[in-house]
Structure formats: C-alpha cells, structure tokens
Structure 1
Amino acid sequence: MPAISAHRRDEAGLIGLRDAVASGADYVEVDVRRTADGVLVVHHDRTVGGVPLSRCTFARARELAPGPVPRVAEALEIIRGRARGHVDLKERGCEHEAVALALEAFGPDGFVVTSREAASVALIKRDFPQVTAALSVGRGLWERGAVRDFVPLRAIRGCGADMVALNHRLARAGVLAQCARARIPAMVWTVNAVPLMRRFLSDPRVAVLITDHPGTALRLRRHKS
C-alpha cells in the first residue's frame, strides 16, 4: 500500500511538525524557502505578511508571520529517526544546502526531494545521484506550461527524476496511467477527501499519498491491510 506523507505541517511551526511525526506518517513534508539573509526556512507561501519572503531577513519574516517560521535544520531534527523526510523545494537556489541538511539528518535512503523545477531536480541528480528526487507536476491551468503537465514523461526523463509527484486531478485525468506504463513511481498530492484517499490507497500505481490529514489516511490504510 502507498506510504503516507504528512503535508503542509509548517503552519503551526515546530508544534505542527511534532504533531505530524506523532501521527505515524511514513514521511513528513517540509516546504523549503530562503530568506533575504540566506536562512533556509520552512514556509509554504511565497510571501509572509504580504511581503515576498525573499526580501525579508529571517528576523523580519518571524515578525511578519502569523505563526512561527522554523529553520529547516530545526525541522529536520524533529523528524530525524521518527519518520522519513519529504523535502519540498519551493524555489530554486536551495538545492545544495537543503539536500546536504537532509543527508545529515536522514542518510541517502531516508528522504525524498520534490520540486516543480526540472532544473532543480536535474541539479540534484547530477550532484547527489544517490538521493531520490521527484518532479512535481500540476500547475494551475492559468500558469505557463500547464498544458505540458498532461504529457510530463519527457520532462521527467529529461531531468533524471526517480519519481513523479502528481496533483490528484492530473492523476485522475490519465497522467498516473502514463507514468505507470513508463514504470515511473508516483506520489499523489494533495489528497484530503476520504473517497479520494480510499481510491488512491487501493491503487498499486501510487507509491506515496500526500495529505493534510495523515491520521485519517493511516486509519483507512490500516482497515485495508
């Protein structure tokens, strides 16, 4: 059955990460961005308090944020030894430092890196070939390149990704089937509705189910086992 990755646990800072670990999820995701003064932080959105995070120092980001903004190193230390890491790179330029931190925390077999940037995945596979990396596929229809997401095999192969991380809508639109035929393992995000959880937990083509509700997904998985 698919592994479960606890998604978007950064809103409550380190407490949210501890809750994710305590849920028993196989993976715990951290969203990685860099502040203006070079600190890698766990933060999902591009902005903090309406200001681009890339223009804020770490201290200023903590002042503007409605909740805590943990350092990536702190977050990985909480996950270490209790779950596998799921390091989601939200922007380019974080690859080497983020992977180095994850290698120190988990070892080469203890985490996966995801990115929607093919160039980031290619860089990781070039410089850290032992690390598992997945290309994230699933832009909004208004975003540039969205049409190519329906036929992603060329991009996946071109960047050397080991896996693909698919938006659940794309997965249901036939892209999961494409990747399965190409023998590319798939992560599916972000699956929160119970009927969809049941569907993907029963699908042998899904390697990892990513959800905001890991406890629910784990209960459903136990009932299927």
Structure 2
Amino acid sequence: MCVVPEVIGHRGAPDDENTLKGLRDAVANGATGVEFDVWWTSDGVPVLSHDPTVDRTTTGHGPIAGMTAAQVRLLRTKRGQKVPTLDEALRYTVAHQQTAMVELKPTPTPAQVQSLLTAIRGNRADKYVIVHSFNAEAVEAVREAAPDLRTALTHQKTAISGAEAARYGTSLNVSRFLATPEAVQDWHAAGLRVYVWTANWPPAWEKAKAAGVDAVLTDRVGPYKEWARTVCSATPQPTP
C-alpha cells in the first residue's frame, strides 16, 4: 500500500498568503488542511498575518497591534485581497471540513486567549483546529485555558525528544531537517502526530514520506498532489 503524508497549505497559498483566497486556492488544489498566522489588533481582534506589521503584504503601513480591527479591514493586500479575521478563516475551514493549523505569533494575553477561544468555539471549530506556536509560552497559555484543544509546539534547529514535545500537545510541527525516521518513530511513540515544514520540492517530499511523517506543510499544494499520484502509481502492486 502506497502511503504519502497529508498536505497542508502553508499560509494557505503563497500568492495570497493569509487571505481567504489563499485558503480557497490551497483547498482547490487538494489540501487536506491549511496553516495560517495570527496577530491581534489594538482592540483585541485576532486577524491573519505572518508579520507583525502590514507593510510587506498590504498597501498599508504600521504594526497590527497599533491598529484597530476596523482600520485593518480597510487594508488590501498588494493583490487586492482583504485581511481576514480569525473568525472568517475558521468559518471557511469548518464549512469545508479542513484542518486549521492556527499559528500564534505573539504570546497572547489572557484576554487574547479568550478571543481566540471565542472564535474557535463560536465556529464549532474545535475538532478542526490545531493551535501551534514557536513560543512555548503561547502554547502553554492555550493549554491552560482550554486543555481539550489540540495544540502543538512548532520547533526548529535543535533535536527534540518525543517526551519533551508531548508536553505541548498532541502534535509536533517541526522543521523538515529534523524529521529523520528515528526521530519520527520517537515522536510517534510519544503519541504525537508529526507535521513538517516547509517542504516545497520532490526531494523534501520523498524524505518526509520515507521518514513516516503524518503531514507536510508546503507552498506548492498542486505539485505535491501530482507528485503523490506519480509516486503511488509507480509503486509495484503485490501479485495476487
């Protein structure tokens, strides 16, 4: 049986990252989930953005934390898309039954954690969401407030054991360079699902497949799906 990792659209899709169009494009190309980034506005609304400022991705300027949600709503990306709220993104992912990997960029305050949970609960997104972050403190804040939610540490550069990673949740979102077969076996033994990022080309996809990871985050969902079809169609079938 040919098994390839599931595919998650990294920031949705690169041309329209962290927008509803980016999420739609990833799903249209065959993603089983989408990953996106969250910051909070000055009035406490979680919105999608990778960067702390809007300068790179929109025609506006300044930090998201210094803008109200209404001000952010007036912005457009350089390709004409709106900056969505977390509520809007989750509404879409739930409607399409997509895994939503929600990356927290800052460590949230208690009030920000509550706004996160309100968006998740209000959209009945609990079973679709994985809250993850490079900031261990951010993950711990969510786990303390909502131990029933799926969470994950996002990790790079140094080795991490399954026992250590399991302190932060039910999954591990890890740099593809750390995902050796031995490491993945250890993470799986600790009860973790393993996601690797950012795998954009066939050699990285083959390595992830050989290591036995559960899913890859990629900017190239369509090419990944075509590669997966080619790999599995070329796999010799057992003789009856």
Fold match (TM-score > 0.5)? yes
SS of corresponding position for 1:102: helix
Match of 1:68 in 2: 82
Q: Distance in 1 between matches of 2:145 and 2:119?
A: 14
The question of 1:150 aligning with 2:159 is answered yes
Query: Which runs of no fewer than 5 residues in structure 2 stay unpaired?
Result: 56-60, 233-240
Q: Distance in 1 between matches of 2:183 and 2:8?
A: 20
Match of 1:133 in 2: 151
Residues 11 and 18 of structure 2 are in contact (CA less than 8 Å); yes or no, is this contact kept in structure 1? no
Residues 29 and 86 of structure 1 are in contact (CA less than 8 Å); yes or no, is this contact kept in structure 2? yes
Q: Distance in 1 between matches of 2:170 and 2:21?
A: 31
Note closer, same or farther for the CA distance 1:210–1:95 as it changes in structure 2 (3 Å cut). Answer: farther
- Residue 183 of structure 1 and its aligned partner are, at CA, apart by 4.4
The question of 1:201 aligning with 2:212 is answered no
Pairing 1:181-200 to 2, within 5 Å after superposition: 182-200=190-208
Q: Distance in 2 between matches of 1:63 and 1:100?
A: 24
SS of corresponding position for 1:80: helix
- Residue 111 of structure 1 and its aligned partner are, at CA, apart by 2.3
The question of 1:45 aligning with 2:51 is answered yes
Q: Report the aligned-residue RMSD.
A: 2.7
Seq. identity, %: 28
- Residue 178 of structure 1 and its aligned partner are, at CA, apart by 4.6
Q: Distance in 2 between matches of 1:208 and 1:117?
A: 21
Residues 12 and 68 of structure 1 are in contact (CA less than 8 Å); yes or no, is this contact kept in structure 2? no
- Residue 125 of structure 1 and its aligned partner are, at CA, apart by 2.5
Match of 2:65 in 1: 54
SS of corresponding position for 1:25: coil
Q: How many residues align?
A: 214
SS of corresponding position for 1:113: strand
Residues 159 and 178 of structure 2 are in contact (CA less than 8 Å); yes or no, is this contact kept in structure 1? yes
Report the AA paired with residue 44 of structure 1: H
Pairing 1:1-225 to 2, within 5 Å after superposition: 1-9=4-12, 11=17, 13-49=19-55, 51-61=62-72, 62-63=74-75, 66=78, 68-82=82-96, 83-93=98-108, 94-138=112-156, 149-151=158-160, 153=162, 155-159=164-168, 161-172=169-180, 175-176=183-184, 178-180=186-188, 182-204=190-212, 206-225=213-232
Q: TM-score w.r.t. structure 1 length? A: 0.81
Q: Distance in 1 between matches of 2:36 and 2:123?
A: 13
Residues 166 and 191 of structure 2 are in contact (CA less than 8 Å); yes or no, is this contact kept in structure 1? no
Residues 135 and 164 of structure 1 are in contact (CA less than 8 Å); yes or no, is this contact kept in structure 2? yes
Q: Distance in 1 between matches of 2:17 and 2:181?
A: 30
Report the AA paired with residue 209 of structure 1: V
